[in-house]
Amino acid sequence: MKKKILNLIKKKNKSKIVSLTAYSKNIATILDNYCDLILVGDSLGSVLYNYKSTREVSLNSMIEHSKSVRMGVKNSLMVVDMPHNTYRNNKEALKNAKRIMLKTKCDAVKLEGGKKIYQIIKTLIKNKIPVMGHLGLLPQSDKIFKYKGKKKTEREKIIKDAKLLEEAGVFSIVLECVEASLAKDVTQNLVIPTIGIGASKYCDGQILVFDDLIGLNPINYRFVKKFANIRKEILKGVLKYSKEVKAHKFPNKKTSY
């Protein structure tokens, strides 16, 4: 197993894992010194391209963004989402995961689902492709976006799926929008770390979509805390620029050839 992955697993019960998404080099460069894990998430479909769902994201799009992110990531573990319809069977999953690994030089791929993709995950891992799991709310396949863990059957399924994924060999599992006590149960039941998004403080680590945390993406989900207001800063800069252009102050001698 890669050293970076082993180090991430070792953090369980010792220190919280810090993770964020990145879709480009400049952002990845800033995050790299502060994150244990950087995910090129297929959330880029809704965040950057205004798609209705992540189901519209293509493999090529993921690869191009990941190539950009790779240039900015030196220290963190870099994980790339396999988009919808790229891992419907073992053969397809292996071909596409190999392509992602080769083209992007990422450390691992992430797939959404439990029992249904157990064999697929095993195939990838057997072929030396490290895999991160993703349970709870599954944006690639869920029709309704609601937190998970209200119903007993739902809780039992997530606990079972988490154990199955661990047995298949994933090195960590993202828990998305999972009720707090369920996230706690899953986390305590596993040897590998859980990374939560809207899944309470009980997970071994946290992840947020970077554009959400800086207040660039105009959404208001309960689980998103806006740690910065970058829109305000951008507006300030753009207004200043606009004023200077109109006042013939920019460009001046210093900024001209």
Q: How far is the CB of 11 from ligand KIV (least distance, A)?
A: 17
Residue with tokens 């998103």: 224
Measured from the CB atom, is 32 or 250 closer to ligand KIV?
32
Distance, in Å, from the CA atom of 98 to the CA atom of 87, rounded to the nearest integer, reads 12
Measured from the CB atom, is 25 or 250 closer to ligand KIV?
25
Catalytic site includes residue 156: no
Contact 20, 39 (CB under 8 A): yes
Of 154, 176, 179, 244, which residue is the catalytic one?
176
- Considering CB under 6 A, how many residues would be counted as binding ligand KIV? 11
196 burial (CB, 10 Å; 0-12 / 13-18 / 19+) is buried
DSSP conformational letter for 83: P
Distance, in Å, from the CA atom of 22 to the CA atom of 120, rounded to the nearest integer, reads 26
The site string for ligand KIV over 3-42 (x = CB under 6 A, - otherwise) reads ------------------x-----------------x-xx
| Residue with the shortest CB distance to ligand KIV | 41
Q: How far is the CB of 201 from ligand KIV (least distance, A)?
A: 17
Q: Which of residues 199-218 bind ligand KIV (CB under 6 A)?
A: 207, 209
Q: Which of residues 220-249 bind ligand KIV (CB under 6 A)?
A: none
Q: Which of residues 118-177 bind ligand KIV (CB under 6 A)?
A: 174, 176
Beta strands in the chain (DSSP E): 17-21, 37-40, 77-81, 108-110, 131-136, 172-176, 194-197, 205-208
Tell me the CA distances in angstroms from 50 to 55, 63, 95, one per residue in order: 12, 18, 28
Report the catalytic residues.
176
Residues that bind ligand KIV (CB under 6 A): 21, 39, 41-43, 81, 174, 176, 197, 207, 209
